Amino acid sequence: MSDAIDEYFDEALAIVKAAGNLITEHVSGCKAFEYKSCDIDLVTEVDKKVEETLIGGLSKKFPEHKFIGEESTADGAKCVLTDDPTWVIDPVDGTLNFVHGFPHSCISLGLVINKESVAGIIYNPLIGQLFTAKKGQGAFYNGRQIHVSKVKELKKALIAFEAGTSRDEEKCRVVFENFKMVVNKGHGVRSLGSAALNMAMVAMGGADANFEFGIHAWDVAAGDIIVREAGGVCIDPSGGPFDILSRRVLCASSKELAQEIVKELAQYYPERD
């Protein structure tokens, strides 16, 4: 299987790097956008073009592979995850950042086989950040192997955390409650505006944990394998196993830190993907 994953990964990486040029054409922000679910949930033509480029390139190389993409789903495609090799794509993760010209947006591409992430690429071409991992082969940042931090206690943990792009009242209440918990009990809060890049920060040991409710499979498929290959854990925020379609994620440098966060979190259960 690892030879096949190597072949899939190598082809995907070349396509991702080429697609990154579509993003770097807008270094000062992409001002042409449309609204999706609300005024802070946006999509640009670049999101759509990057996804088309990735799906077009990968389906040509691997016609039997399946795809779950953010913008294809927005256009009505169903999120169906089988055991087949499935590419789970966020073409521009951090679209709000991309519109504003805040340079923390990335292509997030995960390869899921038998419902398990086995390879991941998180590529921010705006500032040249490439995070990669393949099952059993470690996690890398710009070619250098990375490892999660050794932090095991919430009071020493820097937590990557997002307000999200939903105006739902109950979701916002939970966001504020959890923000207060982290500010009071953690070492600090950081918010990049991209779930994938937040998870990449945990993988490289820059942040010690990240949790979020309301994300989608395409936000976390790559980050899941990258964090785990960097020696971290990726679980459900209630403490159970990670479920890629649940729209809930908690990743951390250690299971001890993850379990302490689980005990403190106000929970939110969005509709599944």
Among 121, 132, 134, 162, binds ligand LIP (CB under 6 A): 162
> If binding is defined by CB under 6 A, does position 224 make contact with ligand LIP?
no
> If binding is defined by CB under 6 A, does position 273 make contact with ligand LIP?
no
User: Two tokens at 219?
Assistant: 């936000």
> If binding is defined by CB under 6 A, does position 165 make contact with ligand LIP?
yes
State how far the Cα of 197 lies from the Cα of 191, in Å rounded to an integer: 10
> If binding is defined by CB under 6 A, does position 99 make contact with ligand LIP?
no
**212: which strand partners?**
249
> If binding is defined by CB under 6 A, does position 195 make contact with ligand LIP?
yes
168 known ligand binder: no
Q: Which range of residues in 117-125, 157-165, 199-207, 247-255 is near ligand LIP by CB under 6 A?
A: 157-165
Residues 31-70, one symbol each (x = binds ligand LIP by CB under 6 A, - = not), give: ---------------------------------------x
State how far the Cα of 262 lies from the Cα of 159, in Å rounded to an integer: 13
Q: Which residues contact 56 (CB under 8 A, 6 or more apart)?
A: none
Q: E-assigned strands of the chain?
A: 33-35, 42-44, 66-69, 86-93, 106-113, 116-124, 129-134, 139-141, 144-146, 158-161, 188-190, 209-213, 233-235, 248-252
Residues of this chain that bind ligand LIP (CB under 6 A): 70, 90, 93-95, 162, 164-165, 194-195, 212, 214-215, 219
